[in-house]
């Protein structure tokens, strides 16, 4: 069986709560804001969530986040949160997972002595 699409997913968790992060394979989705991108994914591309969060790859307490280009100029990166049953507009543990993956993979370089990272999620800038 050949896959039609390849996604790069980095495994992450915050205090044991799974919040994996898609870092490749989805370049962007339509929407003028991160909230509109969330709504588009929910309405038009929910197969991504189902593929990654339903058995055998996921489970009821797993989440996955899609890193996307930000829509606000002050943001370094944007992301949309997908959980097994919904698309929340914000989540503390998923924010921690995305920040860790973005910095540890070099998507956003760490700069000593202090790295500032501004992330855009559907509800708010963090």
Predicted confidence (pLDDT) per residue in 7-32, tens digit? 999 999 998 889 999 999 998 899 99
SS3 content of the chain, % helix, strand, coil (to 5): 25, 25, 50
Distance CA 64, CA 97 (A): 9
Distance CA 102, CA 106 (A): 6
Q: Which domains does the chain have, with CATH numbers?
A: 8-120 (3.10.310.10)
Q: What is the pLDDT of residue 2?
A: 65
Catalytic site residue from 20, 23, 65, 91: 91
C-beta neighbour count of 85 within 10 angstroms: 9
Residue 59 has pLDDT above 80, yes or no: no
Greater confidence, 53 or 79? 79
Predicted confidence (pLDDT) per residue in 26-49, tens digit? 988 999 999 999 999 999 999 999
Q: What is the pTM of this model?
A: 0.92
Predicted confidence (pLDDT) per residue in 67-125, tens digit? 999 999 999 999 999 999 999 999 999 999 999 999 999 999 999 999 999 999 999 99
Whether 93 sits among the annotated catalytic residues: the reply is no
Distance CA 18, CA 20 (A): 6
């Amino acid at each position: 069986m050949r896959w039609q699409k390849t996604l790069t997913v980095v495994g992450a968790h915050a205090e044991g709560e799974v919040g994996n992060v898609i870092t490749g394979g989805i370049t962007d989705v339509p929407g003028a804001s991160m909230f509109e991108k969330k709504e588009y994914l929910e309405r038009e591309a929910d197969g991504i969530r189902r593929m990654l969060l339903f058995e055998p790859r996921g489970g009821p307490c797993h989440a996955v986040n899609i890193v996307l280009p930000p829509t606000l100029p002050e943001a370094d990166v944007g992301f949309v949160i997908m959980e097994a049953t919904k698309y929340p507009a914000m989540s503390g543990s998923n924010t921690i997972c995305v920040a860790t993956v973005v910095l540890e993979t070099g998507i956003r370089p760490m700069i000593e002595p202090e790295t500032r990272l501004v992330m855009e999620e559907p509800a708010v800038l963090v």
